[in-house]
Amino acid sequence: MRAYRDEHERSIAAPEEFWGEAATAVAWTREPKQVLDADHPPFYRWFPDGELNTCYNALDRHTEEGHGERVALIYDSPVTGMRTRYTYAELQEQTARCAGMLRSLGVGKGDRVVIYMPMVPQAVVAMLACARLGAVHSVVFGGFAPQELAVRIEDAKPKVVVSASCGIEVSRVIAYKPMLDEALKLADHTPDACVILQRPEAAAEMTDRDVDWDEAMAAAEPAECVPVAATDPLYILYTSGTTGRPKGVVRDNGGHAVALAWSMKNVYDIGPGDVWWAASDVGWVVGHSYIVYAPLLAGATTVLYEGKPIGTPDAGAFWRVISEYGVKALFTAPTAMRAIRKEDPEATLLAEYDMGAFRTLFLAGERLDPDTYTWASRVLGVPVIDNWWQTETGWPIASNLRGLEPMPVKPGSPTVPVPGYDLQVLDEEGNQVAPGQDGAVAIRLPLPPGSLPTLWNDDERYVSSYLSQYPGYYVTGDGGYIDEDGYVFIMGRTDDVINVAGHRLSTGAMEAVIATHPSVAECAVIGVRDSLKGQVPRALAVLKAGSDIGQDVLARELVQAVRSQIGAIAALKEVDVVPALPKTRSGKILRRAMRAMADGVQEPVPATIEDPAVLESLRPVLDREKR
């Protein structure tokens, strides 16, 4: 582990030297003289006097260097039958035109643009077009319901919204435009215009406020790249916190470009001309970092796949894409592998495809259980690499560094802390624990470039959510340990955030919806283990005195309420009516104890519990073994 250890040590002991060197991979309109501004802890800024344009680095730079004919993006959409390749020159032309269109609608540097789109190339074009103008995009995942979209619109206050008439799921076409219209009714903020991409699968009804994507693009003048400060925001991405109100994670321009370029080479071993595929969605951080920005910054070819691992049309879909385009590495969530395994346990469909170019499978977004790891390694015969990170950091905190120094894999571990991250495991008092001992996984400040500098318009929440528990540290919200060899093990969230099929959701948000039901006195939502999706939510509700609603009726109504207010991806299926919820003497609901009981995990009951009999009475409901 020499190369890795040396680099990691250097990144912590001499961060300015380390990241100053990494910054030479980026083209600046004004080279940064200062690498790190540490004058205002706990706030840190990378490359404070640098100036650049992220879109220039992702597109124009490559065409200017003579690589305009290289394929930048492959769009593969089994749900529509479309397959299109865009060279760097073509993607640049489309993006410049889209930037011109947005500019004609009044969008300039610093203005926000909300993008609510399915996995179509226009979503990537719109993101890059914002970056080109120095505008700030905020992409909202298509699976979110109008209410969630409205909250984001209200917080980001976009000048323009870019959307599409529909998204296409395995079994149905989902009309996006009515959801956007509904969200705009719910939100106090009104954008000046909505640009709508009409897709043939469902036409959107247009109003005076709406602009047709195709018509506006045809009429637009291409716009040039606008230099911005390295510390200016590139995007806001809302993510689930422990409350119902999502957190607007801010990403800057300079640190982001430097960190992502470094990660493509050193973590993922991807360089110019390599074909790389991140099978996620542009609405998640994986999509932002590894479908859009990082592969293009690296001059690679990125695959944009509008489909699923199964059902479009079968469990061989991923292998087809890999063989058809000569994909060198695939990045997806463990859930996708579990879904494929369930349909095709021996991966017999692999035999139909030429996997000759395929070198590595990267998995992230949720814990990679050793069973899934072992299966994927066996059937694919390539290294299967877990990497652990979160929306806030924007790129891996722990990984096996395939480009820097590949290391032996320990199943269940994402391997080692990535250079830039001073990872420590702390006990409740904030002391570092011994190797092998569990605790809160924290990162000593400063966070490396690319990680969030703050939350949108809310420095206070940034500090109270992440930095105040252990002064000098960022808390990740994950629990785990680091073993004697320095390998990191992430065992799960210590807060009320859950991960359903790699989608990050807040149980607090679901509780807020359930609590509004007229028959519900109080409720708790917990994430319980699921063999396909990793975790799924389960709700427990206590009825108001005198309420005689039946369990089935209530369950149906609550499932529907969560679906229509948060979105289908919340995937709440199980609701139980219980006489009481276990609490501490101060009235805090003991969700963790219920989760342990549901998962069949032995965990000491907190000494502060008010009445242990209440928890015990839930065993027949929670413990699946006993049901």
By CB under 6 A, name the binding residues for ligand AMP.
239, 285, 364-368, 386-388, 390-391, 414, 476-478, 490, 493, 499, 504
For residue 330, the minimal CB distance to ligand COA (Å) is 11
Picked from ligand COA, ligand AMP, none, the partner binding residue 255 (CB below 5 to 8 A depending on kind) is none
For residue 134, the minimal CB distance to ligand AMP (Å) is 26
Is 557 a binder of ligand COA (CB under 6 A)? no
Stretch that binds ligand COA, among 30-38, 103-111, 335-343, 391-399 (CB under 6 A): 335-343
For residue 49, the minimal CB distance to ligand COA (Å) is 35
* Cis-peptide, bond into residue 32, ω within 30° of zero: no
Let me know: does 557 contact 518? Beta carbons within 8 Å.
no
Pull the structure tokens for residue 137: 């995009």
DSSP tag of 23: G
Q: Residue with structure tokens 């293009």?
A: 296
For residue 493, the minimal CB distance to ligand AMP (Å) is 5
Stretch that binds ligand COA, among 77-85, 220-228, 439-447, 568-576 (CB under 6 A): 568-576
For residue 390, the minimal CB distance to ligand COA (Å) is 11
Could you give the C-alpha distances from 486 to 215, 419, 491, in angstroms and in order?
Answer: 56, 13, 16
Nearest-5° angle of CA 210, CA 213, CA 215?
A: 95
At residue 333, the 3 state secondary structure works out as coil
Which of 282, 375, 358, 291 minimizes the C-alpha distance to 318?
358
Picked from ligand COA, ligand AMP, none, the partner binding residue 167 (CB below 5 to 8 A depending on kind) is ligand COA
Stretch that binds ligand COA, among 179-187, 203-211, 234-242, 565-573 (CB under 6 A): 565-573
Is 37 a binder of ligand COA (CB under 6 A)? no
Pull the structure tokens for residue 50: 């640098």
Is 502 a binder of ligand COA (CB under 6 A)? yes
Could you give the C-alpha distances from 353 to 85, 275, 316, in angstroms and in order?
Answer: 21, 17, 9
Picked from ligand AMP, ligand COA, none, the partner binding residue 339 (CB below 5 to 8 A depending on kind) is ligand COA
From 99, 136, 294, 310, residue interacting with ligand COA (rule: CB under 6 A): 310
Count of residues touching ligand COA (by CB under 6 A): 24
Residues in the chain: 627
For ligand COA, the binding residues in 257-286 under the rule CB under 6 A are 279-281, 284, 286
Tell me whether residue 408 or residue 546 sits nearer to ligand AMP (CB atom): 408
For residue 530, the minimal CB distance to ligand COA (Å) is 10
Tell me whether residue 364 or residue 401 sits nearer to ligand AMP (CB atom): 364
For residue 283, the minimal CB distance to ligand AMP (Å) is 10
Query: Which amino acid, residue 572?
Result: L
Pull the structure tokens for residue 33: 């003289």
Is 384 a binder of ligand COA (CB under 6 A)? no
Pull the structure tokens for residue 507: 């149980």
For residue 286, the minimal CB distance to ligand COA (Å) is 4
Picked from ligand COA, ligand AMP, none, the partner binding residue 142 (CB below 5 to 8 A depending on kind) is ligand COA
Is 365 a binder of ligand COA (CB under 6 A)? yes
Is 453 a binder of ligand COA (CB under 6 A)? no
Tell me whether residue 122 or residue 391 sits nearer to ligand AMP (CB atom): 391
From 357, 409, 568, 605, residue interacting with ligand COA (rule: CB under 6 A): 568
From 57, 122, 266, 335, residue interacting with ligand COA (rule: CB under 6 A): 335
User: φ and ψ at 76, to 5 degrees?
Assistant: -125, 115
For ligand COA, the binding residues in 337-356 under the rule CB under 6 A are 339
Picked from ligand COA, ligand AMP, none, the partner binding residue 499 (CB below 5 to 8 A depending on kind) is ligand AMP
Could you give the C-alpha distances from 549 to 39, 280, 558, in angstroms and in order?
Answer: 59, 40, 12
Tell me whether residue 156 or residue 286 sits nearer to ligand COA (CB atom): 286
Is 527 a binder of ligand COA (CB under 6 A)? no
DSSP tag of 431: P
Q: How many CB atoms lie within 10 A of CB 486?
A: 16
Measured CA to CA, the distance from residue 290 to residue 392 in angstroms comes to 15
R_g of the chain, CA atoms, integer Å: 24
Is 307 a binder of ligand COA (CB under 6 A)? no
DSSP tag of 204: P
Measured distance between the N- and C-terminal CA atoms of the chain, rounded to whole angstroms: 48
Is 174 a binder of ligand COA (CB under 6 A)? yes
Which of 593, 571, 580, 594 minimizes the C-alpha distance to 541?
580
Picked from ligand AMP, ligand COA, none, the partner binding residue 333 (CB below 5 to 8 A depending on kind) is ligand COA
For 489-496, the CB contacts below 8 A with 24+ separation are 489/412, 489/413, 490/367, 490/388, 490/398, 490/414, 490/441, 491/367, 491/438, 492/367, 493/527, 494/440, 495/242, 496/242, 496/591
Pull the structure tokens for residue 78: 């089994």
Picked from ligand COA, ligand AMP, none, the partner binding residue 169 (CB below 5 to 8 A depending on kind) is ligand COA
Measured CA to CA, the distance from residue 496 to residue 244 in angstroms comes to 11
Sign of the dihedral through C-alpha 159, 164, 166, 169: negative
Picked from ligand AMP, ligand COA, none, the partner binding residue 280 (CB below 5 to 8 A depending on kind) is ligand COA
Beta bridge partners of 212: 196
Give residue 413's Cα distance to chain centre.
20
Tell me whether residue 95 or residue 476 sits nearer to ligand AMP (CB atom): 476
Is 336 a binder of ligand COA (CB under 6 A)? yes
Measured CA to CA, the distance from residue 620 to residue 627 in angstroms comes to 6
Instruction: Give 73's contacts (C-beta < 8 A, 6+ positions apart).
Output: 85, 86, 91, 121, 124, 296, 301, 302, 303, 304
From 397, 571, 590, 598, residue interacting with ligand COA (rule: CB under 6 A): 571
Is 333 a binder of ligand COA (CB under 6 A)? yes
Tell me whether residue 493 or residue 517 sits nearer to ligand AMP (CB atom): 493
Instruction: Give 502's contacts (C-beta < 8 A, 6+ positions apart).
Output: 280, 284, 333, 334, 335, 336, 365, 366, 534
Number of alpha carbons in the 13 Å side-chain half-sphere of residue 515:
11
Is 569 a binder of ligand COA (CB under 6 A)? yes
Picked from ligand AMP, ligand COA, none, the partner binding residue 390 (CB below 5 to 8 A depending on kind) is ligand AMP
Is 558 a binder of ligand COA (CB under 6 A)? no
Tell me whether residue 177 or residue 504 sits nearer to ligand AMP (CB atom): 504
Number of alpha carbons in the 13 Å side-chain half-sphere of residue 102:
37
Binding interface with ligand COA (CB under 6 A)? 142-143, 167, 169, 174, 279-281, 284, 286, 308-310, 332-333, 335-336, 339, 365, 501-502, 568-569, 571
